[in-house]
Structures are given as C-alpha cells and as structure tokens.
Amino acid sequence: MDHKPTETCETAAGIPDSAARSARDLRVVLSRLRRRIREVATDEDLTPSQESALTLVGRRGAATASALASAQGVRPQSMAATPAALDQHGLIRRSPDPEDGRGQLVTLTEASRARIEDNRQVREEWLARAFEDRCTERERRTVLDALALMERLPEQ
C-alpha cells in the first residue's frame, strides 16, 4: 500500500481522498488477512460451506437448515447436504423443530465445540506469532491505536 502524502482532494462523492484510500486499503488488507487466517486452521475433511454452517450454529445457536441457507445466501435445497455431512462427522445433533414439526434444529456436539475452539486458538496463535515475528513493539502499539480508532467505525 502506497501511503504518500497527497493534497487534500475529494472524490466525486465529496469524500476526502484519504478516507476513500483508507477504506479501499483496509478492505483489501482485511480480505487478504481473513483468507490467510482461514488457511491456517482449515479442516481438510470439511468443505467451506460445512465450516461456515458450523461457525453460524456456534455463534447463533440452534438453527434450521433453511435459516443456515438464508444466512449463507444459498437456496435451502443447496443446504440440504450440509447438515447430513456434518452429522456423519459427529459434529452436529439434529432434533425436531418445536415450531415446525416437519423441520429439524441443528445444534453443535461437544466434539464440534472443541474443534471450533481449537481452530480459534490456532488462528489466534498464528496471528500473534505473525505480529511478534514481523512487527516491532512500536508497530504493534500503532496497530492497537489504529484498532481503537476503527472501533468507532461501526457506531451509528
């Protein structure tokens, strides 16, 4: 990322050039970082959609296959095989949906929770090591300062 000082310019939308560059560069860096972090603890026996479904159930709790499909932006028919495969791996439990007798709720098993926690820990350790190996103490403090500023971005 090139961060040369520039004159204060605005985009056609009236956004300062520095804000537009910050948004673009941050999006690119976060995308690359997210991809690399995923690679660090990828379970080779699960597809990306199966991993995503596990993560969603882990975050949101019990869910139907159609709720998982909706959250992943796919048709319910496309999601049908995912719970079956996760069940075969012993990573989910399926039980009748009390609100819809025809549907089933998917919940995580203890094995799945342990797997998710192990993956989280591996990813976090990789990132901590990357900061340790590639950044000085001063740079790490700069990152912490920048993160404190970025905390304000999602506020309404």
Given pLDDT bands bounded at 50, 70 and 90, which one contains residue 3? low
In degrees and rounded to multiples of 5, residue 47 shows phi and psi of -80, 165
Q: What was the pLDDT predicted at 10?
A: 77
Q: Name the strands in the sheet holding 63-64, side by side, starting at the edge strand that comes first in the sequence.
A: 63-64, 100-108, 92-97
Given pLDDT bands bounded at 50, 70 and 90, which one contains residue 124? very high
73 burial (CB, 10 Å; 0-12 / 13-18 / 19+) is exposed
0.75 exceeded by pTM: no
- DSSP letter for 92, please: E
Q: What was the pLDDT predicted at 102?
A: 82
Residue with the larger pLDDT of the pair 80 and 70: 70
Q: What was the pLDDT predicted at 1?
A: 58
Q: What was the pLDDT predicted at 86?
A: 93
Q: Are 92 and 106 in contact (CB under 8 A)?
A: yes
Integer CA distances (angstroms), 121 to 62, 102, 125, 128, 156, in order: 23, 37, 6, 10, 31
Q: Are 100 and 64 in contact (CB under 8 A)?
A: yes
Structure tokens at 119: 């993956």
Q: Are 29 and 1 in contact (CB under 8 A)?
A: yes
Residue with the larger pLDDT of the pair 125 and 55: 125
Residue with the larger pLDDT of the pair 17 and 101: 17
- Answer yes or no: is pLDDT of 138 > 90: yes
